[in-house]
Structure 1
Amino acid sequence: MSVLDTIYEEAKLNPQRVAFPEACNEKMLQAAYETGKEGYIYPILVGNESEIRALCKEKQYDTEVFTIIDIHDEDYRKKLIQAYIQLPTALLKEKALNRRMENPLYFAMIMEAVEEADVTFAGIDNTTGEVLLAGQTFIGLQPGISTISSIGLCDIPGYKGSEGSLLAVGDSAVCTNPTAEQLADIAISACDTVKSLLDWQPRCAMISYSTLGSGQGELIDKVVEALHIAQEKRPDLAIDGEFQLDAAIRPEVAAKKVNRESKVAGKANVLIWPDLNVGNTAVKLIQTFGHANAYGPMLQGFNKVVCDCSRGAPVSEIKGNVVISAVRAAGSKQ
């Protein structure tokens, strides 16, 4: 059974409410309908109700599968606004909220902020920047985290690591050249993500071209500083480095290169790249030569689960990311 099959099974046991603010996009609507009808989520369509119902009728979708939220329903809008402005993290007042709630993306985020939804899923009609801005404005960042980043899950045939064929990697999509502080945030968020999604005990390696001082230079210095920041912020997490890739995941290499006790060396299940050049290239190498399935990128760092899917993603991939997001939301509640 693949990791995605396992995640699908888990989603079915505890379906979450997923808000779709791009409900009139045909691919997004199909993904919402199929994941809802198959029992993985409770899909919430957010937008112009008459347009949504017309598209559902055209596609012959049973609207009983959905909860349809009309952004022009004044009573419900007022209910959301009153609930939102009571939040200690609220950044906007009633007038500003009313204006922004003409946009289904913002409407859905406010629903999630006041616990009327568990996930907001977008990214085809809205840009990544728009999704990130809405998420930061209404969902906010986790305590102690100031960086939005991403993590991916690689299922690598033939790889026998500490979690079998699975390896979590980040950031491969969002932060171009993170500072030491941002790199520390990425590592912390990645640990929390794999805990909520896979119930792993994360062993997180900060990757570099050096292992424990075998090399020198400012690129290594950044990774070492990031490690110290992460360990100080979250001493409960097993985050270690700086390690070369082989020292992070191969016990026999770690035995030669890491001459001290480490909970991570040789058995890392989470790898943190030093920058996007490394991360993007590494994932493509894993996919191309390792023939891996790579799931994600999953946004992390928000107080709740916010998703930005690829504009070119097929429906099958969107469905997988919807289900992953729902399982993350359920895990984060625990």
Structure 2
Amino acid sequence: MSVLDQIYEKAKADPQKVAFPEAENEKMMQAAYECGQEGYIIPVLVGDEETIKKLAAERGYDINVFKVVDIHEESYKNSVIERYVALEDTKLKEKALGRRMEDPLYYAMAMQKIGDADVTFAGIDNTTGDVLLAGQMIIGLKPGISTISSIGLCDIPGFEGSEGSLLAVGDSAVCTNPNPEQLASIAISACDTVHDLLGWEPRCAMISYSTLGSGQGELIDKVKEALAIAQEQRPDLAIDGEFQLDAAIVPAVAAKKVQRESKVAGKANVLIWPDLNVGNTSVKLIQQFGHADAYGPMLQGFNSVVCDCSRGAPVSEIKGNVVISAVRAAGAKKK
């Protein structure tokens, strides 16, 4: 059974409420419908109810598969605002939130913040910047996390790692040149993400061109400082480094290069790149030469799951990312 098959099974066992603020978009509505009809999620379409129902009928969808939230209906909107502003960790007051909720993206995230949705899924009609800004303003960041980042899951044929052919990597898409505090946040978030999604006990390696002082320079110093911050903030997590790639994932190399006890060296299941140059290039190398399937990027660092999909993604890819996001949300609830 492939990793996606396992994730789909988890989703069906515990469907989550996924809010779609780009409900009128044809690809987004199709993905929401198919995921809902197949029992993986409870799709919540957020927007103008009349338009949504008209488009659903034109496209041949059973409207009963969806829950439709009309952003123009005042009683429910007022209820969302009232419950939102009553929370302790929110930034917006009643009037400011009401104005922003004229945008379905902010409306969906307000629903998520109060628990009426588990995930907000967007990214076709809204830019990545739109989604990140709304998420930071409405959902907020997890305590101790200083930056939004991403993680991807690579399924690499022929790779025999500690989790078989699977390897989680980040950040390969969002945070361009993280400082030590941000890099530590990425590592911590990545550990939480793989635990929520896959149930792994994360073994997280901070990647560098140096293994435990074999090289010197400010690029290595950044990784070392990030490691110290991450270990201090989350001593419960197995985060170690700095390691070269082979020392992180190959037991024989780790035995030669890492002359101390390590829960991570040689058996890492999460790799943290030092910057986006390394991350973006590495993922493309894995895809092109390792013929790997790469799932993601999955946004991480928010208080709850927010997903920004690629504008050019086909419906099949959107469905996969919807289901992954739902399983992450279910996993986070169980912790």
CA distance in 2, matches of 1:90, 1:77: 17
Matched, 1:287 2:287: yes
The alignment-based identity, stated in percent, is 78
Q: Deviations over 1:255-289 (max 9, x none)?
A: 00000000000000000000000000000000000
Aligned to 2:155: 155
Aligned to 2:66: 66
Post-superposition offset of 1:94? 1.1
Matched, 1:30 2:24: no
CA distance in 2, matches of 1:94, 1:203: 43
CA distance in 1, matches of 2:101, 2:238: 41
Q: Deviations over 1:93-117 (max 9, x none)?
A: 1111111111000000000000000
Q: Deviations over 1:187-225 (max 9, x none)?
A: 000000000000000000000000000001100000000
- What's the secondary structure of 2:168's corresponding residue? strand
Aligned to 2:258: 258
**Residues 145-224 of structure 1 mapped to structure 2, 5 A cutoff:** 145-224=145-224
**Residues 315-330 of structure 1 mapped to structure 2, 5 A cutoff:** 315-330=315-330
* Residue ranges of structure 1 left out of the alignment (5+ in a row): none
CA distance in 1, matches of 2:212, 2:30: 50
Aligned length: 334
- What's the secondary structure of 1:279's corresponding residue? helix
TM-score by length of 1: 1.00
Query: Which amino acid is the alignment partner of residue 263 of structure 2?
Result: K
Post-superposition offset of 1:313? 0.4
Q: Deviations over 1:5-44 (max 9, x none)?
A: 1000110000000000000000000000000000000000
CA distance in 2, matches of 1:276, 1:83: 39
- What's the secondary structure of 1:298's corresponding residue? strand
- What's the secondary structure of 1:110's corresponding residue? helix
Aligned to 1:49: 49
- What's the secondary structure of 2:289's corresponding residue? helix
Query: Which amino acid is the alignment partner of residue 82 of structure 1?
Result: E
Aligned to 2:114: 114
Q: Deviations over 1:29-82 (max 9, x none)?
A: 000000000000000000000110111011010000000000001000000000
CA distance in 2, matches of 1:146, 1:273: 17
Q: Deviations over 1:268-324 (max 9, x none)?
A: 000000000000000000000000000000000000000000000000000000000
- What's the secondary structure of 1:151's corresponding residue? strand
CA distance in 2, matches of 1:92, 1:162: 45
Cα RMSD, aligned residues only:
0.4
TM-score by length of 2: 0.99
Query: Which amino acid is the alignment partner of residue 318 of structure 2?
Result: I
CA distance in 2, matches of 1:214, 1:100: 52
- What's the secondary structure of 1:120's corresponding residue? strand
Matched, 1:92 2:77: no
**Residues 294-305 of structure 1 mapped to structure 2, 5 A cutoff:** 294-305=294-305
Runs of 4+ in 1 over 2 A off after TM superposition: none
- What's the secondary structure of 2:79's corresponding residue? helix
- What's the secondary structure of 1:295's corresponding residue? strand
Query: Which amino acid is the alignment partner of residue 281 of structure 1?
Result: T
* Residue ranges of structure 2 left out of the alignment (5+ in a row): none
CA distance in 1, matches of 2:83, 2:129: 26
CA distance in 1, matches of 2:182, 2:82: 34
- What's the secondary structure of 1:322's corresponding residue? helix
CA distance in 1, matches of 2:214, 2:190: 26
CA distance in 1, matches of 2:105, 2:26: 16
